[in-house]
C-alpha cells in the first residue's frame, strides 16, 4: 500500500512539474501555476459514520496483528521449553541407567548399606524422569493451545481485513454520492 501511495504521489509531483512546461512549449498563452481549488464535497452523516467505522475496524485489525505477534512469540517460547524439558528428561534417564548399574554392582558386591542408598537415588531419579515427562506433556498442550490461538487470531485478522475493505468501499460510495 505504501508503495502505491509513493508511486501516486511521485507521479502527481512529476506531472505537476512537467505538464506546465509541456503546455508552455505548445501554446503561446501562459498557464496559471495554480489551479482553482475545488471545494470538498459536503460531509454527510453517512460518510462520517463510514469513517468512524473504518477507523474502528482498522484498530481491530491492528490489535489482531499484535495478538498474532504475541502468539508467535508464545509458540517460540513453548518450543524452547519443550526442547529444554526433553534434554532434562534425557539426562535424568541417563542418571537412572547409572543408578541401576551402580545398584547391580553393589548387590553383586554384597554391600547392603550402598544398596539402600542406590535404591533411594534410583527412586529419586525415576521421579525426576516422571516430572520431566509431565513438563513435556504440559509444554505440548501449551504449544497446541498457542497454535490454536494463532490460527484464531489469523481468522479474526482476515475477517477484520474484509471489514476494512468493505468500509472503504462504503466510504468511497458515500463520498461519490455526495458529489
- Write the pLDDT tens digit of every residue in 123-157: 999 999 999 999 999 999 999 999 999 999 999 88
CA angle (126 as vertex; 120, 131 as ends), nearest 5: 125
Handedness of CA 76, 79, 81, 83 (dihedral sign): negative
pLDDT tens across 47-74, in order? 788 788 888 888 888 898 898 999 999 9
CA distances from 101 to 22, 93, 109, 118 (A): 94, 12, 12, 9
Domains of the chain: 45-178 (1.10.287.620)
Q: How far apart are CA 62 and CA 55, in angstroms?
A: 10
* Predicted local confidence at residue 98, as pLDDT: 93
Please, are residues 92 and 125 in contact by the beta-carbon 8 Å criterion? yes
Q: How many angstroms from the chain centroid is the CA of residue 97?
A: 43
What predicted TM-score, i.e. pTM, was given to this entire model? 0.60
For residues 10-26, average pLDDT: 59
* Predicted local confidence at residue 70, as pLDDT: 92
- Is 80 exceeded by the pLDDT of residue 19? no
pLDDT tens across 78-125, in order? 999 999 999 999 999 999 999 999 999 998 988 888 899 999 999 999
The per-type count for the chain, helices as H runs and strands as E runs, is 3, 0
Burial class from Cβ neighbours inside 10 Å (0-12, 13-18, 19+) for residue 118 reads: buried
Pull the grid cell for residue 99: 543408578
Give the number of other CB atoms < 10 A from CB of residue 116.
12
Amino acid at each position: 500500500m505504501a508503495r502505491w501511495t509513493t508511486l501516486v504521489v511521485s507521479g502527481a509531483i512529476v506531472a505537476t512539474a512537467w505538464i506546465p512546461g509541456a503546455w508552455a512549449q505548445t501554446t503561446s498563452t501562459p498557464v496559471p501555476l495554480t489551479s482553482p481549488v475545488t471545494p470538498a464535497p459536503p460531509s454527510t452523516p453517512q460518510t462520517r459514520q463510514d469513517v468512524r467505522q473504518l477507523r474502528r475496524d482498522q484498530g481491530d485489525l491492528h490489535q489482531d496483528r499484535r495478538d498474532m505477534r504475541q502468539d508467535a512469540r508464545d509458540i517460540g517460547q513453548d518450543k524452547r521449553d519443550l526442547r529444554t524439558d526433553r534434554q532434562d528428561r534425557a539426562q535424568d534417564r541417563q542418571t537412572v541407567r547409572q543408578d541401576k548399574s551402580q545398584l547391580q554392582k553393589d548387590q553383586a558386591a554384597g554391600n547392603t548399606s550402598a544398596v539402600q542408598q542406590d535404591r533411594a537415588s534410583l527412586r529419586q531419579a525415576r521421579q525426576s524422569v516422571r516430572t520431566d515427562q509431565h513438563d513435556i506433556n504440559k509444554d505440548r498442550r501449551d504449544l497446541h493451545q498457542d497454535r490454536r490461538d494463532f490460527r484464531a487470531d489469523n481468522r479474526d485478522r482476515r475477517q477484520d481485513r474484509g471489514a476494512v475493505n468493505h468500509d472503504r468501499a462504503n466510504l468511497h460510495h458515500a463520498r461519490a454520492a455526495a458529489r
